[in-house]
Amino acid sequence: MKKVIETIYGGVNSSVGDMLVNRLLPGQSFKAVGPIVFLDHVYPVTIKDGTTSIPTGEFAHPHRGIATFSYVLNGQLSHYDSKGNHDVISAGGAQWMKAGSGIMHDEKPFSQLNGDIFHSLQFWINLPAKNKSEQPEYMAVKPDAIPELQLPERAGTLRVLLGSFGTTVSPVKTYSEQFIYHIKLCPKASFTLQAKANLECAAFVPACEVMINGTPAGNSKIIIFGQHGDDLVLENPHIKSVDILLFGGEPYTEEIVSQGPFVMNSHAEIATAYREFFEGKYGTIAYR
């Protein structure tokens, strides 16, 4: 039985510097999908002055209580944080940062050639309460470190960005059962994935419209599935490959209190997060 579609949501546009971003989570009628409480789609943008990977610092900001997961579809993205971590990932790579008890970080899209396209996604993954006070961590995941499976009938590929698919496991740390898959579906191909029972699930299609359980979806829209049914039927009617992101996980059963860049379990913890940020306890970023 096909999994029931509860909501299709187009998100809300906002500007981040020179980039236009579509904010899809949280939505109008839903706060999270499993532990994933935030999804930004950075629309494709031409990099005009991206010859350096070092950020200017004007967009540096704090986080606490979550892990951020940035996935690059096109271009390159650099990362700097207040724990001394810095790296660069290219298309097909990801950056995971556990903010834990508090960290400052900065990211910059860049290119060694003017005119290149940058296109990415960022997820915020809510940490269990017991992990929110842990020390921050960072991991750059190069494209060849993300496991990729061939779909049956030459239908395409499935990359395990987060969590597991069968016996294939992403190298990225998780603190609850959760997953993010990037499916590239070949022209005129279809693939049926059986969703795991008791896990919340959503699909995101960044560009070309596809059919998901018989319903058209695309152009930066998110589909939220209900608990009824098992099958996710993905169909590509086009004569070129298309991208589909599937994500979710076990329901987050603790209280979710979100404000600005912090996601905690109470308003008192949010107040503490802000106070410690203003006291300088998250450190500073050394750009080099």
pLDDT digit string, tens, across residues 231-251: 999 999 999 999 999 999 999
Q: How confident is the model at residue 58 (pLDDT cuts 50, 70, 90)?
A: confident
Q: How confident is the model at residue 47 (pLDDT cuts 50, 70, 90)?
A: confident
Q: How confident is the model at residue 221 (pLDDT cuts 50, 70, 90)?
A: very high
What is the average per-residue pLDDT within 66-86?
Answer: 96
| Cβ atoms 233, 244 nearer than 8 A | no
At 214, the amino acid letter reads G
To the nearest whole number, what is the mean pLDDT of the chain?
94
In a domain, 221, yes or no: yes
Distance CA 27, CA 36 (A): 12
- Alpha-carbon separation of residue 226 from 26, 56, 124, 144 (angstroms): 16, 43, 21, 34
pLDDT at 288 over 80: no
If one counts the domains in the chain, the total is 1
Q: What is the CATH number of the domain that holds 182?
A: 2.60.120.10
3-state secondary structure the chain: CECCEEEEECCEEEEECCEEEEEEECCCCCCCECCEEEEEEEEEEECCCCCCCCCCCCCCEEEECEEEEEEEEECEEEEEECCCCEEEEECCCEEEEECCCCEEEEEEEECCCCCCEEEEEEEEEECCHHHCCCCCEEEEECHHHCCEEECHHHCEEEEEEECEECCEECCCCCCCCEEEEEEEECCCCEEEEECCCCCEEEEEECCCCEEECCEEECCCEEEEECCCCCEEEEECCCCCCEEEEEEEECCCCCCCEEECCEEECCHHHHHHHHHHHHCCCCCCCCCC
Distance CA 234, CA 210 (A): 7
Distance CA 135, CA 70 (A): 20
pTM: 0.95
* Model pLDDT, residue 110: 84
In a domain, 286, yes or no: no
- Alpha-carbon separation of residue 65 from 155, 191, 221, 253, 266 (angstroms): 38, 36, 27, 15, 11
Q: How confident is the model at residue 49 (pLDDT cuts 50, 70, 90)?
A: low
In a domain, 285, yes or no: no
Q: How confident is the model at residue 50 (pLDDT cuts 50, 70, 90)?
A: low
pLDDT at 76 over 80: yes
What is the average per-residue pLDDT within 122-135?
Answer: 97
In a domain, 50, yes or no: yes
In a domain, 30, yes or no: yes
Q: Which residue has the tokens 């979100």?
A: 258
Q: Name the phi and psi angles at 145, rounded to 5.
A: -90, -10
Full domain range(s) for residue 154: 5-278
Report the percent of the chain where pLDDT is more than 90: 85
In a domain, 288, yes or no: no
**Would you tell me how many other CB atoms lie within 10 Å of the CB of residue 64?**
26
In a domain, 267, yes or no: yes
| Cβ atoms 15, 226 nearer than 8 A | no
